[in-house]
Structure 1
Amino acid sequence: PRPHRTTAPSAYYVAPDGDDANPGSEARPWRTIQHAAESVGPGDTVYVRGGVYHEAVAILVSGSEAGGYITFRNYPGERPVLDGTGLSDPDGVNAFYIEDQSYLIIQGFEIRNYTTTLRNSVPMAIQVTGASHHIQILDNEIHRIETHAPVDADGLGADAHGIAVYGNRATPIRHLLIQGNHLHHLVLGSSEAVALNGNVEQFTVTQNLIHDTDNIALDFIGFEGTASDPAYDQARHGVVVSNTIYNVDSASNPAYGGERSAGGIYVDGGAYILIERNRVFSANIGIELASEHAGRATRFITVRNNLIYHNQIAGIAMGGYDTLRGSTERCTLVNNTLYHNDTLQEGNGELWLQFDTRENVFKNNILYANDQGLFISNPYAQNTGNVVDYNLYFAPTGQGGGQWQWKQTTYTGFEAYRSGTGNDTHGLFADPQFVDETAPDLHLRATSPAINAGENLAASGDQDVDGEPRIQEGVVDIGADEVGRQTALTPSIYLPMVVKHP
């Protein structure tokens, strides 16, 4: 890294018609982003002019707390494109690679066409690894990151990522902000559009748009051995807020052999993560909290004020996908709206409790089933201590035709479910009266029975899905939308010790 200096921060420029022998001024710009990534110092900004750059950039400099962030960004009003066409590396090509660096901003790039046909070669748009910290990834468009490598009998060997953050040191990757990015049309193999894996903490993932991917959109991972000590080998203490995710489907992905199992938001072994005010639709699974590793748990996740609809397999899934996996423990799911999930009608319903779910809370949610009429599927007797109450249910089948599967017993009818399970003693079966079921617009009409029908909980937060005050008439509404006359608050993003710099 460049040594500390006492001069004022500078602006440098890169352009397709530049020359790395130039001084990097606006009149005489550099030619490559890589040259800039080896030359600038704390507080500097690198403006990249519009045009196409065929580069794999390893950032070898850091900003500092005293000197400020180093920013790599688009020249205002122009669109720099990093295009991987023609680039190759046996390990996979990254458009931006950051290892053990800090105080960096990557903003305003289009990144495309980083692809491979080689097994175990992993192309990525942006990779952050080592003990990097204070990293911001802002307002980039990432697409056509693809693996077309053959897979083995277990579906392994083909991987690609849009954004990958791998904490593989004893010192965590921390103070990470991923905001305002557009990721789409990704061919990912066994990997994900955005993955935070291993020793990663104090992160915010917000206001991103992710769609048309053949595997998981957002993944927060633990216990894969990315970090050597299991005590810190998990993504933790983060916020996932106000993202929009759709068209996430693994059916065409060779790594899954036609199985639909891709989640919009997936916590696999993470802990202490807040997931709120997101919209997830037309994925295989809307939101999933699980642990793929036996003896390990996803814990202390709060899922609140989300809209989850038209997902093929389930709205929310929790627990290990079979009895050889880990558990989901002490998670809180409140004030979500689930509408017409399990569209393939595979018997999972709106809420799917898989293997080994313990001491979770599910309250103040709207579950509006499709004509299958299945609200909850909980087939495992080992699932214990889960609290389910103050939820509102509705389906075209009517109250008498609704179904709840609870610990190997199927209850038909709302009263049979309540008396047989002890759940939802304060629950309702009623039409929530959405504004428009066709569009859908899942806001509540002023006459909705969900209004003022919930339980006031600190876990519900202070804002609904639209950033409006969460409690407006003394009692919280059921579902993601709060009806009232107050105007929206300034949206809170709850950045955990992260500040976005201009």
Structure 2
Amino acid sequence: MKKLGKFLLVGLSLGLGLAIGNLLTPAASAASTEYYVSTIGSDSNAGTSDAPWKTLQHAADTVSPGSKVYVRGGVYKEKLKITRSGSASQGPIVFASYGNETAIVDGTGLSVSGNEGLIELADVDYVTIQGFEIRNFTTASKNAVPTGIYVYGAGNFINLSDNKIHDIKNTATPTGKDRLGRDAHGIAVYGTKAPASIHNLTISGNELYNLVLGSSESLVLNGNVDGFAVTSNLIHDNDNIGIDLIGFEGTAPNTAYDQVRNGLVKGNRVYNNSVRNNPSYKSDDNSAGGIYVDGGKDNIIEQNYSYNNDIGVEIASEHAGKATSNITVRSNVIYNNRLTGIAMGGYDDERGSTVNSKIVNNTLYKNDTLDDGSGQLLVQYDTQNNVIKNNIFVASSTDVLIYNGYTQNSGNVVDYNLYFAPGGSSGANWTWKDKEYTGFATYKSETGNDAHSLFVDPKFVNATNGDFHLQPSSPAIDSGSTDNTIIGTEDIDGEPRAKGKAVNIGADE
């Protein structure tokens, strides 16, 4: 629910049925060559451990496929642009901090020219960036876009892992009715070619924080990105969206390829991301999603924790006549987000739609902390043929569980959920197709939804302290729909689904 046009960068499909580990693992490589970079080295040296190079860029301009560039601890005040590729036969080109040392790529005092990364990967295959601290790339110039790591063009087997990215900022004053011109990213991957895509992409174990993003995102995939895994990242305390999968912005030159697709967003922890103090937005805006799919398709979002953001998870399309489609949101824990837990559909009737998607086995707890009445699930404009099953919904003090304010929404299946609210069964509130219902029995009989659902305390172990596992006496145990087409194989902890006679409701099995 961004409500602003994102900053547009101008510039092989991989099925999710395959194991993502195999999908993103390159072939065995030949023996690698090791090189070293040190702040006390010299680019006239041989690049060995005893005679290291001094600059990252010299290493990038020198090494060949299969090379490992170990960067010794220290501060490197330079930009790094990688244009050389590794290969399947010889192995990737790897840039990594050496051992337990931390190499810091610091942008203090460096200019930002247009859309630019402190580390850039341009049209490369088989490249790994691992274990760096990337920081202080900032600008006060309107329409310049500083980025911690920026990947663009087309490419294959790119791995961004275990990096710490912070203080990437654009502090320009946004202008105009839409307050544009202030943009930055922590990590940005833009598939700007077609039909060649960015694929076999891994972004794992990174921490992104203290980013001043304007109308942009902490970690974004945009355009022709086909086949990826965004896993186990920690994204927090930024002034806009945490993770974003985007389509329909014209990033790829062919509209048939201009969607982020066939990917996995798994095991991330996303929190404290909000536009509340962001001058690119109005003061009453609460539209920063922890995890957002805006125009993507065929993606899975599972086993994530999303809390204290504006919105926990949003699957929507900002583009009229265009659909976010076949998104599966399952086994996530989503709590204490300001506007709502999960939002779907266009944020107004001039936007696009959400179709053929599945929201299953999630635990949503006391979102809508603004007391806005948007509830735990916000069903927005033009949602069609979606499945909402096996979720736990615990209302905030508003007692609102689901808010669906559009009569046009059709074909959505809602059942086998567990509801609870402070006001009890008779005081709980649902709005369905713009009609408000108070009381669980009334809501069920009037809408036909939730024939097999429950209204009862789910009995979490310790929700106050963020432990949403189920007590042994929880009524959610073995009460879900056992539908192998939607539930997946693992719960929030990676444990098998359907341990008992049936599937549990909620994220915990």
Shorter-chain TM band: over 0.9
TM-score calculated relative to the size of structure 1: 0.94
Unaligned 5+ segments in structure 1 are 1-5, 483-502
Aligned pairs for 1:261-272 within 5 A: 261-272=287-298
CA contact (8 A) 2:290 2:313 kept: yes
CA distance in 2, matches of 1:384, 1:7: 55
Alignment correspondent of 1:111: 134
Q: Partner of 2:188 in structure 1? A: 164
Q: Distance in 2 between matches of 1:7 and 1:366?
A: 50
Specify whether residues 273 and 7 from structure 1 end up closer, same or farther in structure 2 by C-alpha distance, changes over 3 A only: closer
Could you state the TM-score of these two structures normalised by the residue count of structure 2? 0.93
Partner of 2:198: 173
The answer to whether the 8 Å contact 1:52/1:82 transfers is yes
User: How far 1:89 sits from its partner (Å)?
Assistant: 3.1
| Match status 1:480 vs 2:477 | no
One-letter code of the match for 1:57? L
Structure 1 segments, 4+ long, off by >3 Å, are none
Cα distance in 1 for partners of 2:458, 2:415 equals 16
**Match for residue 255 of structure 1?**
280
What is the alpha-carbon distance in structure 1 between the residues aligned to residue 461 and residue 31 of structure 2? 55
Residue 280 of structure 2 aligns to a residue whose secondary structure is helix
Question: Which position in structure 2 is the counterpart of 1:409?
Answer: 435
Instruction: Judge conservation of contact 2:116–2:150 (CA < 8 Å) in 1.
Output: no
Contact 1:453 1:477 in 2 (8 A): yes
Distance in 2 separating the partners of 1:243 and 1:23: 40
Distance in 2 of aligned mates of 1:438 and 1:197? 37
The corresponding residue for 1:20 is: 43
CA deviation after TM superposition for structure 1 residue 371, in Å? 1.8
CA distance in 2, matches of 1:92, 1:419: 54
Q: 1:100-130: per-residue Cα shift (whole Å, max 9, x none)?
A: 1110000000000000000110000101101
Query: Which string of whole-angstrom CA distances, capped at 9 and with x for unpartnered residues, describes residues 238-296 of structure 1?
Result: 00000001001101111112211100000000000000000000000000000000000
The alignment covers a number of residue pairs equal to: 477
- In structure 1, distance between residues paired with 2:208 and 2:149: 12
After alignment, is 459-468 or 200-209 more displaced? Answer: 459-468
How far is the alpha carbon of 1:216 from its aligned partner?
A: 0.3
1:197-253 CA distance string (max 9 Å, x none):
000010000000000000000000000000122111000000000000100110111
1:455-500 CA-to-partner distances (Å, cap 9, x unmatched) read: 1022211110001111101200000001xxxxxxxxxxxxxxxxxx
Tell me what 1:354 maps to.
380
Aligned counterpart in structure 2 of residue 461 of structure 1, from 464, 485, 488? 488
Task: Identify which of 48, 58, 62 aligns with 1:39.
Answer: 62
Give the Cα–Cα distance (whole angstroms) in 1 for the partners of residues 109 and 41 of structure 2.
Answer: 21
1:314 maps to which of 319, 327, 340: 340
Aligned Cα root-mean-square deviation (Å): 1.0
Any residues of structure 2 matched to 1:111-130 within 5 Å, and which? Answer: 111-130=134-153
Structure 2 letter corresponding to 1:353: V
CA drift at 1:60: 2.1
Residue identity matched to 2:242: A
Contact 1:202 1:237 (C-alpha < 8 Å) held by counterparts? yes
The one-letter code sitting in structure 2 at the alignment partner of 1:117 is A
More divergent stretch after superposition (92-101 vs 306-315): 92-101
- Whether 2:179 is the aligned partner of 1:192: answer no
**Partner letter of residue 203 of structure 1?**
F
The structure-2 alpha-carbon separation of the partners of 1:8 and 1:477, relative to structure 1 and needing over 3 Å to count, comes to closer
Whole-Å separation in 1 of the counterparts to 2:46 and 2:31: 16
Using the alignment, how far apart are the partners of 1:366 and 1:321 within structure 2? 24
1:263·1:286 contact (CA, 8 Å) conserved in 2?
A: yes
Deviation at 1:152, TM superposition (A): 1.2
- Contact 1:87 / 1:93 at 8 angstroms: preserved in 2? no
Equivalent-residue separation in structure 1 for 2:74 and 2:116 (angstroms): 20
Distance 2:149 2:340 in 1: 30
1:50 aligns with 2:73: yes
For the structure 1 residues 102 and 7, does the alpha-carbon distance in structure 2 shift closer, same or farther, using more than 3 Å as the test?
Answer: closer
Counterpart amino acid of residue 31 in structure 1: K
Indicate conservation of the 8 Å contact 1:90/1:118, yes or no.
no
Out of 428, 446, 449, the residue aligned to residue 423 of structure 1 is: 449
- The letter for the 2-side match of 1:60 is T
* Separation in 2, partners of 1:328, 1:128: 28
| Structure 1 residues 366-405: aligned runs within 5 Å | 366-405=392-431
Q: In the alignment, is the contact (CA less than 8 A) between 2:168 and 2:211 conserved in 1?
A: yes
Structure 1 position 438 matched with structure 2 position 478:
no
* Residue type at the aligned position of 2:98: Y
Taking the aligned partners of 1:438 and 1:7, their CA distance within structure 2 comes to 52
Deviations 1:154-178 (A, max 9, x none): 1110100000000010111110000
1:494 matched residue in structure 2: none
| 1:93/1:114 contact within 8 Å kept | no
Task: For residue 9 of structure 1, report the CA deviation from its aligned partner.
Answer: 2.3
CA distance in 1, matches of 2:321, 2:254: 15
Structure 2: which amino acid aligns with 1:114?
F
Shift of 1:93: 4.1
Amino acid at match of 1:465: I
8 Å CA contact 1:13, 1:49 repeated in 2: yes
Amino acid at match of 1:426: H
